[in-house]
Structure 1
Amino acid sequence: MYSYTGRILRIDLSTSKISEENLNEKDAEKFIGGKGLGAHLLFDNIDPRVDPLSPENSLILCTGPLTGSLAPTSGRWCIVTKSPLTSLFLDSQIGGYFGAEIKKSGYDVIIVKGKADDPVYIAIQDDNVEIRDAVHLWGRNTTATEESLKDEGRVLSIGVAGENLVKYACINTDLFVHKGRGGNAGRGGAGAVMGSKNLKAIVIKGTQKIEFAHEEKFRKAVKKAQKIINENSFIPLRRKYGTPVWINPVNENQLLPTYNFLRGYFEKADNISGETMHDTIVVKNKTCFNCPISCGKWTRFDFNGKTYEFEGPEYESIALLGSNCGNETLEGVAYLSYLCDEYGLDTISAGNVVGFAVEAAQKKIIDQDIGFNDPVKQGELLRKIAYREGIGNDLAEGVNHFSEKRGGKDFAMQSKGMEFPGYDPRGAFGMALAYATSDRGACHQRVWTVRAEIEGNLQPRYSIKGRAEFVKENQDERACCFSLVLCDFAPFDVGMFVELLNTATGFEYTKETYMRTGERIWNLTKMFNVKNGITRKDETMPERIMKENLEKDEAHIGEERFEKMLDEYYELRGWDANGIPTKEKLKELNLVIT
């Protein structure tokens, strides 16, 4: 097999058994790798109805055929598991260098199951794989863990939030100590799955090379891809300001989450914008493996009498921990994002939870002395969540579970259990459909309609026209991109992705079969969720989004328009009116699911 290693590593922490098996070449061609192959392996390795925090759940580290290759942005890979936050399918895409080391160690996939009796970490150096004692690491934050293990290779680890099974705990890679950019498996609580297995970290170092089917043609395709990046007009802005470049435009277009999604415009947005960040706290750029975009930012800032350094904050962190929590200073927002990285918390869910908690306190649902624009007290709440202390124990379950237990369901901003990202769907109606139909709960990465609705071909803006088709096509395309695995910031069309894939692997994809593969992957993850009871009733929006306006009267979706979008989407997908793939559709996609 070209551009694959052809090997899967299996580790059972309950028995300490370590084994290898060959990657099925037909599976690789059918599902590509990354998200697609991971979804296939998840279906094969667990009962979809399994408790996500039980030893029976699998944690699957999955690269793609382009991970670690010459292709631009090929540092990407993903973790696939069943989410403890949503009890649904979860894939979490990660950058940095760890994925390239998996491939260099001779593996396409690492599957971890079971539960160790005591805390452990896994050490991998090429063919040498060991399960080692990690009792001395348990209870440490991200920096301390990485510092202890950095000499053994690239480090993937959880913080105390993962140890304490916070439902939106993330997994971090090389955030603080290694050169180059780190990464997070941020959404959906993969860190809690890792913690449930008493697995503190994985360290990896490899020396093996990747072979390509048509190396000369692949190198030409790589040069072509590089040229596309170099000539793209938006890349210089992304390189200069990183993802926070979007704060001001999103705010000006009135869809920046503000005060727990009560508004879409934040008066102090420029204080926390990418431009202000660049001019005040950015020290240098950080770059993922083989990435010419270099959008990561290493920052240094003072807050409350202390100096901090870390990588970030990103747009999503600023939107959710900043405007959504009413925080008006960049230093306060950066401090909260830093805490999330140290504790191992998803900044998106954390910002939602804090914003929700402030509103819940204002409405006397909870008895807490906390308000908007108070990063010190908000930071203390994050600590309580990470350690599950007091009110933090319930908030560690996420806004959906908390609101079902304690109240506030109408302003719990989530879909299928996952908290909203940094775009209010009342300002971009396509995002309502994107959030509701995402296979892992509310997500902006499966499809991002914002730019197309603000300045592109999805016009008029406050309309549902064309949204269903746009969402469906982009979900299929992203499913393939996340299977290659390349970065969704790479400005490539389907033809470029196909050329890179074919010349690297020797496969013979066309644009049509590539998109059909994306559709196959999307239907596969949908069926995993159907096995967990997901139907149309779950693919919806909170009451605030359905019934309340943003600042403009036009910024109102309403149930009738939303349901019309959903009807059109299901019809385009070939699903029934309840949102379930038909037997005919599954057969058409060559999916056999019992």
Structure 2
Amino acid sequence: MSWAGKILRVNLSAGTVAAEPLNMDWAHSYLGSRGLGSKYLVSEVDPKVDPLSPENKIIWATGPLTGTMASTGGRYTVITKSPLTGAIACSNSGGYWGAELKMAGWDMVIFEGKSPTPVYLYINDDTAELRDAAHLWGKSVWETEPLIKQSLQDPLIRVSCIGKAGENGVLYAAVINDLHRAAGRSGVGAVMGSKNLKAIAVRGTKGVGNLRDPKAFMKVTYEKKKILRDNAVTGQGLPTFGTQVLMNVINEVGALPTRNHQDVQFEGAKDISAEAMATPRATDGKAQLITNQACFGCTIACGRISKMDAGHFTVSNKPQYWGASGGLEYEAAWALGAANGVKDLEALQYATMLCNEEGIDPISFGATLGAVMELYEMGVLSKEQLGIEAPFGSAAALAFLAEETVHSRGFGKEIGQGSKRLTAKYGHPDLSMSSKGQEFPAYDGRAIQGIGLAYATSNRGGCHLRGYTVASEVLGIPVKTDPLEHEGKPELVKAFQDATAVFDSAGICVFTSFAWGLADVAPQLQAACGEQYTTEELEKIGERIWNMEREFNNAAGFTKADDSLPKRLLTEAAKTGPAKGKVNMLAEMLPKYYAARGWDSEGVPTAATRERLGL
């Protein structure tokens, strides 16, 4: 089996660190990472707990394929109760940290309580101890990681940490590892900060050597890597252009939310696209994009490494931002760009670096800023309140308010509370483009009907990665469905949601699902784990995980009313593009979705469904 078979439990209040055996019955039923970590959370945490109280717990979890030679086997998740939404939070990250934890011999680390002073956890294979982090508190991610490596005199240590945003309680603060990979959504970094936990530094030298059948595993992973290589998306599009390959595609189909979802097409899309990133600048003749980068074990390599124009107004006097850094991905480019009507590519790169440096989710930040700019144009917010003129399209406002937010200064403190709280405070709650309090990503639910339903029903609030029906509705993967048609989408959304839960829980990247189905994951798990994971069994595991998350949210106080979309998507028709005249048909889709899920009319899993899934 490829589980390490043990977890680390850290009581921050008591300052204790203890090993315990992994619950293997749960591992067989929930795989690992998202599923298994969530099982521990829902079993140990009161759903009604205050997310920022010591009674909440926060868990770092790997999957059975994490740290192995399975393609993209470097993923880990951070699971807790979200301070942004009040729902279950499970945020996934790549890079190298997850594989390092697994190679140190641990499946999971559970943090309880709250440390009286700032600390970090140091893991060196079987040895783990809490260390003083007073000298790290107040430092950025970019300062924290090198300082830890220097103090431990080991450049190969991997670090997962927070910046000032997590310390200051920005409700969508992220956990960052390897300097620019993020467990980015739902405010997991704020929970980390609330516990006075600055970082987890890991050094693992054991490897993952307990595979059931190493030769069979090598053979099947080789075969599956070939499928990724030969696929148009995972073998060509993502390696060449990264996720930014979508900017012009989504704009052309009229599904690019623009100016806080007032429009569905952005006239500046080409200026902030993958193609623009690779085009030499007029100012210095150099392209922003330098190269692509892969996470641990990844054969896709969709990551971007970019370098700004040193003469740009945002960095002309800030040489610390002149070097190569993590580059724009599609969701960040959209949130910082089209969502605010900003088409200055260099300003977007500056803002994304700030998000990485201090640890915040660029999707929630950018989408919240879109609401701020709309409130400014309505006259509800003023220059005096914001500290700058902030109309749609202002790169100066984007840069200034990004700085204020990551440092929790001025009006940035309010932006750091997210769009739901901010728009309600200023009397216009309908302007929050969110579900369950989490802001939507870069697809309009009027032009892509299925993704609108996926947003409304997502267990962690507005999210594309919990059921990426865009694959089918726009890209034709695995089958082409009409994005403007709402019939059949409840079943499509359910299928995508359940399958994604399996990919997440196995410890591999969801991007492999552009080329793989569950039938490709099953033999890899069988060779690694020794379990008879058939495709049908994996479908059931994905459904079990989804229903478990749903039951936690229901117990936390969520109801059918929370499976909703903003009024704008339901009543204001798209103005241009193929979806012109369309609204999202949520009212027609939701009852059919509940029926497909085996839930009652209020969105509660029935006794028969619970029994069938073993909940």
What is the TM-score with the length of structure 2 in the denominator?
A: 0.93
Provide the C-alpha distance between the structure 2 equivalents of 1:32 and 1:488, rounded to a whole number of angstroms: 15
Is contact 1:458-1:467 (8 Å) kept? Answer: no
Match of residue 493 from structure 1: 517
Deviates more, 1:241-250 or 1:386-395: 386-395
**How do 1:22-171 and structure 2 match up within 5 A?**
22-151=21-150, 152=152, 153-171=157-175
Which residue does the alignment assign to 1:351?
366
Partner of 1:382: 402
Aligned to 2:308: 301
Partner of 2:247 in structure 1? 247
- Residue type at the aligned position of 1:10: R
Partner residue in 1 for 2:330 = 315
- Alpha-carbon contact 2:47-2:552 (below 8 Å) kept: yes
Q: 2:243 corresponds to which letter in structure 1? A: T
SS in 1 for 2:278: helix
Decide which of 538, 555, 564 is 1:540's aligned counterpart: 564
Which residue in 1 is equivalent to 2:505?
483
Equivalent AA in structure 1 for residue 325 of structure 2: F
SS at match of 2:14: coil
Residue 195 (structure 2) aligns with: 197
* Matching residue's letter, 2:559: T
- The reply to whether residue 360 of structure 1 matches residue 349 of structure 2 is no
Q: For the Cα contact (< 8 Å) 2:336–2:398, is it kept in 1?
A: no
What is the CA deviation profile of residues 338-391 of structure 1, one whole-angstrom value per residue up to 9, with x for unaligned ones?
111112110000000111111111112222321222223222212322333332
Q: Is the 8 A contact 1:254 1:551 kept in 2?
A: no
Residue 345 of structure 2 aligns to which amino acid in structure 1?
L
Counterpart contact for 1:459–1:465, Cα < 8 Å: no
Contact 1:429 1:557 in 2 (8 A): no
Deviates further, 447-456 or 96-105: 447-456
Residues 169, 190 of structure 2: 8 Å contact kept? yes
Query: What is the deviation of 1:458?
Result: 5.1
AA paired with 1:81?
T
Structure 2: distance between partners of 1:112 and 1:556: 49
Q: Report how far residue 452 of structure 1 moved.
A: 2.1
Indicate yes or no: 2:549 matched with 1:551: no
Residues of 1 paired with 2:169 and 2:244: CA distance? 30
The residue type equivalent to 1:267 in the other structure is E
Alpha-carbon distance in structure 2 between the residues aligned to 1:513 and 1:57? 32
State the shift of 1:401 in Å: 1.4
Work out the CA distance in 1 between the residues paired with 2:29 and 2:587: 33
Q: Report how far residue 220 of structure 1 moved.
A: 0.9
Work out whether 1:521 is the aligned partner of 2:519.
no
| Counterpart in the other structure of 2:443 | 423
In 2, Cα distance between equivalents of 1:107 and 1:461: 43
Going from structure 1 to structure 2, the CA distance change for 1:385 and 1:353 (only over 3 Å counts) comes to same
Judge which range, 98-107 or 548-557, deviates more.
Answer: 548-557
Cα deviations by residue, 1:456-515 (Å, 9 ceiling, x for unpaired): 345443210211110001100001110001111112111110000011000012111110
Share of identical aligned residues, percent?
40
Distance 1:567 1:458, change over 3 A: farther
Distance 2:475 2:434 in 1: 26
Are 1:284 and 2:291 an aligned pair?
yes
- Other structure's SS at 1:254 match: coil
Deviations 1:56-93 (A, max 9, x none): 11110000000000101101111111000001101111
The one-letter code of the counterpart of 1:158 is I
The equivalent of 2:214 in structure 1 is 215
Query: Which residue number corresponds to residue 284 of structure 2?
Result: none
Question: Kindly tell me: are residues 197 and 85 of structure 1, through their superposed partners in 2, closer, same or farther at Cα, counting changes over 3 Å?
Answer: same
Q: State the one-letter code of the partner of 1:260.
A: N
Distance 2:87 2:149 in 1: 33
Q: Deviations 1:152-198 (Å, cap 9, x if unpaired)?
A: 411111111100011000010012xxxxxx51010000000000001
CA distance 1:281–1:217, change in 2 (3 Å): same
2:342 maps to 1:338: no
Give the structure 2 partner of residue 179 of structure 1. none
Aligned partner of residue 27 in structure 1, secondary structure: helix
Code of the residue aligned with 2:125 in structure 1: it is D
Structure 2: how far apart are the matches of 1:336 and 1:584? Answer: 49
**Deviation of 1:555 (Å):** 4.1
Give 1:556 deviation, angstroms.
Answer: 5.0
Aligned residues: CA RMSD: 1.4
Does structure 1 conserve the Cα–Cα contact (< 8 Å) formed by 2:344 and 2:395? no
Structure 2 distance, partners of 1:281, 1:19, is 47
- Contact 2:140/2:163 (<8 A) preserved: yes
Aligned partners of 1:71 and 1:222 also within 8 Å: yes
SS in structure 2 opposite 1:92? strand
Offset from partner CA, 1:305-346 (integer Å, 9 cap, x none): 253531121100001101111111211111111111112110
What pairs with 1:497-508 in structure 2 (closer than 5 Å)? 497-508=521-532
1:217–1:503 Cα contact (<8 Å) kept: yes
Quote the Cα distance in structure 1 between the aligned partners of 2:391 and 2:15.
48
5+ residue gaps, structure 1: 176-181
Q: Which deviations, in whole Å up to 9, do the C-alpha atoms of 1:98-136 show, x marking residues without a partner? A: 000111111001001111111111111112212111111
Q: Contact 1:458–1:465 (CA<8 Å) still a contact in 2?
A: no
SS in 2 for 1:301: coil
Corresponding residue number in structure 2 for 1:188: 186
Q: 1: distance between equivalents of 2:523 and 2:596?
A: 27
The separation in 2 between residues aligned to 1:142 and 1:549, in whole angstroms, is: 42
Amino acid at match of 2:602: N
**C-alpha displacement of 1:238:** 0.8
Instruction: Give the TM-score normalised by the residue count of structure 1.
Output: 0.96
> How many Å separate the matches in 2 of 1:273 and 1:382?
21
2: distance between equivalents of 1:551 and 1:531?
39
Structure 2 equivalent of residue 273 of structure 1: 273
Match of 1:174 in 2: 178
The structure-2 alpha-carbon separation of the partners of 1:62 and 1:459, relative to structure 1 and needing over 3 Å to count, comes to closer
Q: Given the superposition, is the C-alpha separation of residues 42 and 91 from structure 1 closer, same or farther in structure 2, using an over 3 Å criterion?
A: same
Where does residue 587 of structure 2 map in the other structure? 563
Mean Cα displacement is larger for which, 244-253 or 255-264?
A: 255-264
The SS at the match of 1:461 is coil
1:275 CA displacement: 1.3
Q: In the TM superposition, what is the alpha-carbon distance from 1:396 to its structure 2 partner?
A: 1.6
2:278 and 2:543 map into 1 onto residues whose CA distance is: 39
Q: CA–CA distance in 2 between the matches of 1:587 and 1:270? A: 51
1:242-268 deviations in whole A, cap 9, x for unaligned? 110110101111111211111111111
For the residue of structure 2 that corresponds to 1:258, the secondary structure is: coil
In the alignment, structure 1 residue 575 sits paired with structure 2 residue 595? no
